[in-house]
Each structure stands twice: as C-alpha cells, then as structure tokens.
Amino acid sequence: MNGLMMSEKKMENMKVIVVVDDDASIRKTFFLILHKEYRVYLAKDSEEALSRFKKSHVDLIIADLKLPQTNGLDMISSFREAGYDGEVILISAYPDLVNEEKLSNLSISEFFTKPLDLNALNQSISYLLN
C-alpha cells in the first residue's frame, strides 16, 4: 500500500471533533493542537455548526458557551434533539453563567473555564475518545 493510501485510510479511522467558537484564534489553536490525532472541523457559530454537522458523524463537540445568535448549550440541545449522542466539552470564560442542572440534562461530558488548562483538556479529550 503506498503512503497516500495509508494516509487516507488513517484519516478515515480518525475520531471526528467539531470545535465551535466565535474567536478565530481559539479555533486555530484547537486545530493546531488536535489535527495530528483527530479529524478537526471548525465552526464560527452555532448556525454554521448545526448546518454543517447535524447529520454528520461526530465523536466530540467542543463548544464555547457564548456564541453569536445562540449559546453553546442551546446549540448542544439542538444537536441532541437531532440524535447526537456523542461527547461534549463546553468551555467558557463565564463559569457563573453555567447552570449545573442544564449541563447534566444535556449530558455535557466536561466543562472547562478559560483560560484553558491545555494539559487537562488534552487528557479529557483522550479519555473521552479512547
């Protein structure tokens, strides 16, 4: 098997992560950290995420709580209503805005506050996807 075919096969077997954040630098950082081990797709808001990935296979959604148009929890609720039962990591610079009951009701796997502890985040992603 040539290198290109092996590379394509490896890509097919990679877990899929969708990162939703309105801050381009945060999306880029996530991509740079994760793209070697996972297929990483980026969305700038909930509308883009829902339209592009609602019917796709996704293993993990990483979403900011504060997004344009709607918040991350409402977006996750829409994904859940569409049948998504995968893992979710919610991030926020505003932990006081987070309702623990809503996190539980939406089966949010992990919650991280900004600034992010990248080691803890990487460990959590690895745990959730392996």
CATH number of the domain within which 112 lies: 3.40.50.2300
CA 49 to chain centre: 10
3 located within any domain: no
pTM, two decimals, is 0.89
2 located within any domain: no
Q: 84, 58 in Cβ contact below 8 A?
A: yes
Q: What is the mean pLDDT of the chain?
A: 89
Beta strand ranges found along the chain (DSSP E)? 16-20, 39-43, 60-64, 87-92, 110-113
In this prediction, residue 98 carries a pLDDT of 82
Q: Within 13 Å, how many C-alpha atoms sit on residue 86's CB side?
A: 22
Tell me the per-residue pLDDT of 24-41, one tens digit each, with 9 for 90 and over: 999 999 999 999 999 999
Helix or strand holding residue 1 (H, E):
none
41 located within any domain: yes
